[in-house]
Amino acid sequence: MFSNKNRSRAVLAVLALSLGGGLVAQAQNAPAPGAARQAAEERRAAFKLVGANFRPLGALLKEGGQYDAADAKKRIARLVFLSGLLPEVFPDISNLGEPDSKAKPEVWTNRSDFDQALKKFQTDLVTLQEVNDKEQALSEPFKTALTTVAQDCKACHDNFKLK
């Protein structure tokens, strides 16, 4: 038979095992604390830069827009780069409902449509880059490619971003 001392050791060991198992199971199911918050912060930071770099390009579609080849090239390259980061800032865990996030729940409930919108945005930016490199001017093909990108922003915001 166990001595009293040995029995309490055995009980402690069983407790430790079951607690440890519980923690492991929890770690597998639940996100690390703060991970959703961090994803939301990275997402807003990425979109802030997207917004800041798109603004001068969007202005080219308005009356009196002044095209600057070096500036357009630089900003489009940044947008292509930033669009490549976007798939990583919408991890599955982010649908836990970050209070400060403007992302609609549809990003997660309608994931394949969202991923498609993201993919289209990336593809249309690469097209804009190619057209810009070729045209080097505020030409009709350039304006068309730029308009397509602007429509991608709006379409995705209508479907997936809160006002």
Dist. CA 32–CA 130, nearest whole Å: 41
CB atoms within 10 A of CB 128: 22
Residue bearing tokens 């990275």 = 42
Dist. CA 122–CA 113, nearest whole Å: 14
Dist. CA 108–CA 111, nearest whole Å: 5
The single residue among 76, 117, 128, 131 that binds ligand HEC, judged by CB under 6 A, is 117
160 near ligand HEC (CB under 6 A): yes
The single residue among 36, 75, 76, 101 that binds ligand HEC, judged by CB under 6 A, is 101
Nearer to ligand HEC, 25 or 81 (CB): 81
Whether 73 and 119 have beta carbons less than 8 Å apart is answered as no
Angle 34-36-39 from CA coordinates, rounded to 5°: 110
82 near ligand HEC (CB under 6 A): no
153 near ligand HEC (CB under 6 A): yes
Residue bearing tokens 């500036």 = 71
Q: Please report how close the Cβ of residue 135 comes to ligand HEC at its closest, in angstroms.
A: 19
Dist. CA 163–CA 160, nearest whole Å: 10
Query: Considering only 19-27, 42-50, 61-69, 136-144, which stretch makes contact with ligand HEC by CB under 6 A?
Result: 42-50
Query: Considering only 24-32, 40-48, 69-77, 134-142, which stretch makes contact with ligand HEC by CB under 6 A?
Result: 40-48
The single residue among 22, 51, 84, 141 that binds ligand HEC, judged by CB under 6 A, is 51
Contact residues: ligand HEC, CB under 6 A: 40, 43-44, 47-48, 50-51, 54, 101-103, 107, 117-118, 121, 149, 152-153, 156-157, 160-161
